[in-house]
Structure 1
Amino acid sequence: MLEVGTVVGERFRVLRALGKGGMGAVFEAEQLGLGRHVALKVMHPHIASAPGFTERFQREAQVLARLRHPGTVEVYDYGLDSGFLFLAMELVSGETVDSLVMREGSLPVSRAVGLAVQVLEVLEAAHALGIIHRDLKPANLFLEPHPGGERVKVLDFGLAALSGELHARLTQEGMSVGTPGFMSPEQMRGRQTDGRSDLYSLGCVLYELLTGFPPFPVMSSAEVVAAHLYKPVPSFHEVRPDLSLPERLESLVRKAMEKLPESRPPDAASMRQELLAVLSEPVGPPPLPKKRGEGKKSERGLGRMQHEVPVPKPVAGGAPVAVLAPRHQDAAANTLVMSLAACGFQAWVASETEPWHAFGALLVVADGRESLAWARTLAARPGSPPVLLCGPADDWDLVTGALEGGLFDFVPLPLDPMDLTRKVSRAQKLKR
């Protein structure tokens, strides 16, 4: 999107890329003159070009600048430069909750609830200003070292809070502003959202902190959406029968994840008080020991800010991965195989005559609408493993066609190692 060395707004020199999401990309940049390093968030051009979005961006940036709380990042500046809308914010160090759960699995009750309480304190301040986050997830919660213990920083208010008016229009066009595994039902439907939508997302986060799994694991993106819209939340015991968690805590988590907003806690303050009451109660016996990394999630973001998160390795013994591509896409297929190998998978370029039962997943390199039809044909074959289509991230017709056409998932190009790993690992688990 932006190259290293580019100067944005005549005052921010791009130093390196930190990550990207559905609304924009994040860079580390130097503020010229002050020598201060900042997190520079730049909106994707197709988002920034929406009618009236520049004006709304400016209004929201001014509101965000007033959101001063120890659990948020400070907003320094914003502007428009050569068609790029940007927001300069405080650069933080530490690790995301996403990477913490990836490494450790479920957390002790006191730690998980304590982190959720900190997030709710931030939400109270934000909601008082009329700011709804709309993309709460472990990858947007940052753990920063602090003398009094770890402090949670809630990230991405600068992008997610801008999505309110835009969200309904993008949803109608087949785009999703947010992360399916953590979005409220009303947000998925493109309806008006309020603070209770954030409480639903936090309920999903707390569910994962306590069990090591998101509420609906090992599903394709389309199935996750359907589950959040219609299916009841699995009990903690269904997901982790080895854990003993307080019934009152599970009841509160399930209440936060009610399908109807009016059935959830009325506001962040109420939910925070209920969680504090749970903390004051005696906790049951400790969970059984678990292997390092047990309970890894199926829905993850990049989880990077000022550090690099290690790419997770797939489950030991996972079946090999086949890559199929049109003849003139041999280079793309070979690149995909190398990327899979770098992520710890056995993978090779296969032919249509390969014995499908031997593979744990099949990745098809997209080359127009014909590839979508081809992938659907392959997925319909008897014994075929889960089929994932790989194509341009901005080709929304291809994305929606893949998810609605019976394919297991869509892998956007250029590849993100974390995204590639979680989706292929999830496919292998389903195959087993």
Structure 2
Amino acid sequence: MAGTADPWLGRVVAGRYQVTGKLGQGGMGTVYEAEQLGLERYVALKVLHPHVAKTPGATLRFQREAWLMARLKHPGAVHVFDHGTDGEDLYLAMERVFGLPLDAVLDTQGPLEVKAAVELAAQVLEVLDAAHALGMVHRDLKPSNVMLVGERSAPKVKVLDFGLAALVHDEKQERLTGSGQVLGTPAYMSPEHCRGEPLDGRADLYSMGCLLHELLVGRPPFGDSPAVEVMSGHLYRPPPPVRQLVPERDIPQEVETLVLACLDKERARRPASARELAARLREALAPPPPTRGEGKKQERTQPPPTAPTSPPTELLAKPVALIEPGGPANPHGIGTALSVAGYRVVPVGEHDSLEGMFALVVVPRSDQAQEEALTLASTLATRPHAPPVLLCGSGEDFSLMSRAVASGVYDYVPLPMDPTDLARKVSRALRSRR
């Protein structure tokens, strides 16, 4: 059965942005990749969901996002180029960020090394410090809103989605969330956010405590579902100490102290600012200064340093096989998404050996080839010692989904593909082999 094509794909918005692909989808809108005609540059185009635009205050929140982000000048914040309307649709043109969402990293690798976790947290705090200086509160800090860019050995962060951000000191600001409505992600919300109270930068520091807890332990302090139970934890239960949860990780006491300080129920007892917290986190991992004469003694006794050797990145990445019945066409960007998520993509044929593969992704070349792809995926899944098989197919064809799972396929990836969803499902497939 042919799937319903996304009507935005190929559309020219406002006469200057041609949509080339889908990057992701959230509660307020969908983010597409688009080429800015004339300038030949790619942008991220955020489009408000039509049904969301009809809710009270949603349109104002969306328009305000452009204004807020344009004021925030920091290399770790996404830059806004343009915003406007195209017919009844609202759009926001932003910097196209090429990188890996932090939640996909956690799904693939699990908790980070302590030094890496602290450094990423400190970089996020530097962006928050710049935002707080403008009177802005992010209000939805979480792993999926942090993108890692640059070299994998020394990544930099980009903090995404200030769509829920609020101005702290604007007394004339209309209450855009509506009466009694609380917006945010429960697993990372401060107690005052859960109660619907006015927020300041210390609410973001609480969310930072939840995020750093997840980077070190692998999960936020009170889990992520159900929402009522999670919010009850934020309001009433003491946060679990990270060193007690993962004693084998040798997390410094001062790092744990700072995480717990961020998670204090009383905002007045949290760190005074994002800048202070970033500095204290880095100091917690700094080596102690040498005692008098110790430095010269070490110079005399230590051999000359040698350059560290490490295997190439491609040898560390887990191999994932990719097969497209009838030959490669790559119409969906699956291979690119897997590579960005940190996997080594190995194109294979239907008769090739799958030995050493950690997972296999089967992609139909077209809607008309979906049945063929299902047959092949089902056959490959029954091979002795076969890796978990994931089948890509129409997000509208529920019959295909159910038949795929019933035939032994490990998981189903709806098309058009959401890169984060693909990374999560491949990560689960890899974990199933342990």
If the TM-score is normalised by the length of the shorter chain, which range does it land in? Answer: 0.5 to 0.7
Q: Which residue of 99, 106, 110 maps to 2:111?
A: 106
- Give the aligned partner of residue 178 of structure 1: 184
Cα distance in 1 for partners of 2:268, 2:59 equals 33
Q: Which residue of 48, 65, 75 maps to 1:70?
A: 75
**Matching residue's letter, 1:128:** A
Cα distance in 2 for partners of 1:34, 1:128 equals 33
- Give the aligned partner of residue 178 of structure 2: 169
Query: After the TM superposition, which residues 362-377 of structure 1 pair with which residues of structure 2 at under 5 Å, given as runs?
Result: none
- Give the aligned partner of residue 268 of structure 1: 274
User: What's the CA shift for 1:234?
Assistant: 1.3
> After superposition, what is the alpha-carbon deviation per residue over 1:235-290, rounded to whole angstroms, capped at 9, x for unaligned?
224432322211111111011111222221122112112112212146xxxxxxxx
Q: Which residue of 60, 63, 66 maps to 1:61?
A: 66
Cα distance in 2 for partners of 1:225, 1:24 equals 25
TM-score by length of 1: 0.64
Q: Which residue of 171, 188, 209 maps to 2:194?
A: 188
Quick check: 1:22–1:178 contact (8 Å CA) kept in 2?
no
- Give the aligned partner of residue 19 of structure 1: 24
Query: After the TM superposition, which residues 242-321 of structure 1 pair with which residues of structure 2 at under 5 Å, given as runs?
Result: 242-281=248-287, 307=337, 309=341
Change (3 A) 1:218 1:82: closer
Give the number of equivalent residue pairs.
322
User: What's the CA shift for 1:76?
Assistant: 0.4
Quick check: 1:213–1:239 contact (8 Å CA) kept in 2?
no
User: What's the CA shift for 1:95?
Assistant: 1.0
Q: CA RMSD in A?
A: 4.0
Cα distance in 1 for partners of 2:407, 2:41 equals 35
- Give the aligned partner of residue 221 of structure 2: 215
- Give the aligned partner of residue 322 of structure 2: none
Change (3 A) 1:417 1:217: farther
Cα distance in 2 for partners of 1:118, 1:56 equals 26
Cα distance in 1 for partners of 2:241, 2:266 equals 19
Change (3 A) 1:149 1:243: closer
Quick check: 1:42–1:86 contact (8 Å CA) kept in 2?
yes
Cα distance in 2 for partners of 1:90, 1:27 equals 12
Cα distance in 1 for partners of 2:151, 2:398 equals 46
Cα distance in 1 for partners of 2:191, 2:87 equals 37
Quick check: 2:72–2:131 contact (8 Å CA) kept in 1?
yes
- Give the aligned partner of residue 202 of structure 1: 208
Quick check: 1:12–1:32 contact (8 Å CA) kept in 2?
yes
Quick check: 2:120–2:157 contact (8 Å CA) kept in 1?
yes
Cα distance in 1 for partners of 2:145, 2:245 equals 24
SS of corresponding position for 1:103: helix
Cα distance in 2 for partners of 1:96, 1:198 equals 19
Quick check: 1:107–1:209 contact (8 Å CA) kept in 2?
yes
- Give the aligned partner of residue 85 of structure 2: 80
Cα distance in 2 for partners of 1:343, 1:62 equals 50
User: What's the CA shift for 1:191?
Assistant: 1.9
Cα distance in 1 for partners of 2:256, 2:286 equals 15
User: What's the CA shift for 1:52?
Assistant: 5.5
Query: After the TM superposition, which residues 329-340 of structure 1 pair with which residues of structure 2 at under 5 Å, given as runs?
Result: 334=399, 337-338=402-403
**Matching residue's letter, 1:169:** G
Q: Unaligned stretches of 5+ in structure 2?
A: 1-5, 169-173, 289-316, 319-333, 344-357, 360-395, 429-434
Quick check: 2:190–2:203 contact (8 Å CA) kept in 1?
yes
Change (3 A) 1:204 1:52: closer
- Give the aligned partner of residue 153 of structure 1: 158
**Matching residue's letter, 1:143:** L
Change (3 A) 1:224 1:163: farther
Q: Unaligned stretches of 5+ in structure 1?
A: 283-291, 294-303, 314-330, 348-413, 427-432
Residue 143, structure 1, aligned to residue 148, structure 2: yes
Change (3 A) 1:117 1:418: closer
